[in-house]
Amino acid sequence: METWPDSVNQVNKIALLTWVKETGINLVQINGQRRYGGPPPGWVGDPPPTGSEVFIGKLPQDMYENTLIPLFQSVGKLYEFRLMMTFSGLNRGFAYAKYSNRRSAKMAVTALNNFEVQKGYSILVCKSTEKCELSMDGLATSLSQKHLKILLQEAAEGILSITLYPSPYRKQAQLAVLKYSSHQAAAMAKKSLMEGNRRISEEELRVEWLKPDLKQKLRYSEETSSATWVSHGKCPGSPKQAHVPLSPVQGKALDLLDTLCWRRHLGTPLFFTKCVQANPDGWLRFWCQVVIPGYPLPMSGFTWVRQDVSGASGHDKAKDMLAMQVLRILGCEVA
């Protein structure tokens, strides 16, 4: 165990050190967390299945493993216990307890959620999401998957796969989806990458847990690459190969698509739009997607629209642009 500043929470630190000496428990501190087990002494076999871990929140910051580990061991066998730590030696108010099976984790939630560990301190205990995937946005378009893998292996252990996509949020940039062997490995990588311990890009990188809506967006984009459209308005700063799309009468393409889907018994089209860039001159760049229940794949892409005084929102214009492209895919001309 590391040596802490003696002036902070000295009594409880001494109690912890005494408990460690008496029990022989081994605590290892690295990268802002202190860990017991993973696996514990005498463990035989594979690690516990997903769903065996609980998240512990609202901890008093002066409380340590000499109190917490016996408490959480009282409901089941612990495989691992991780307490998040500050540089001063106080805890950061949360921890993770992984049990030998899902049943024990469920019992911990039932028995210990809202349990009063100190007068006036009731802790939160809930099922851990055990996320293992990160998104990293802002990578240079010239960065290869092979080179990125080398850089990530230097930053943290446990990387399983890397998938690169054009960034849906930044022009001329890549977004990487990183999959790790465990939640702990992913959390350590996230911390290392956010703190800038490794210089991967000259631009500011955005590292987050992979959000479900982004994951779905990237999956749809990958699946519908053959049906994906990209329409760039004539906008200062847009790519040189950009062209000016047709300008439908507001609402006409949407009405025609609704009518066509009704006649072909395809169901009502569902649109999703997001403004991903706004230029000072009024041009807006939108990511758009339409899901037609009776059509095998969603269709999505990007378009530029101009904000004007007509009262129509940029989202409505973007939907109209997408509706026109979908009508062409479905074989219907827009007059």
- Residue 201: what residue type? S
Residue 202 belongs to domain spanning? 133-223
Q: Under a CB-based contact definition with an 8 Å cutoff, are residues 48 and 100 in contact?
A: yes
Asked if residue 174 is part of any domain, the answer here is yes
Q: What is the pTM of this model?
A: 0.50
**203 φ, ψ (degrees, to nearest 5):** -85, 160
Could you tell me the two tokens for 61? 């910051």
pLDDT tens profile 89-111:
899 999 999 999 999 999 999 99
> Structure tokens of 168?
């849906």
In the predicted model, is pLDDT for residue 240 greater than 80? Answer: no
Amino acid type, 170:
R
Whether residue 193 contacts residue 207, with contact meaning beta carbons closer than 8 Å, is answered with yes
Percent of the chain with pLDDT over 70: 82
The pLDDT of residue 71 is above 90: yes
pLDDT for res 245: 37
- Whichever domain contains 213, its CATH number is 3.30.70.330
Q: What is the CATH number of the domain that holds 282?
A: 3.30.160.20
Q: 307 and 243 in one domain?
A: yes
Q: Is residue 169 part of a domain?
A: yes
| Residue of 278, 156, 147 whose CA lies nearest to 207 | 156
**3-class secondary structure per residue, 171-229:** CCCEEEEEEECCHHHHHHHHHHHHCCCCCCCCCCCEEEECCHHHHHHHHHHHHCCCCCE
pLDDT for residue 160: 87
Residue 5: inside a domain, yes or no? no
Torsion of CA 5, 11, 14, 15, to 10 degrees: -140
State the chain's mean pLDDT as an integer: 81
- Segment 243-272, tens digit of pLDDT: 333 333 445 788 888 888 888 888 888 888
Bigger pLDDT: 203 vs 251: 203
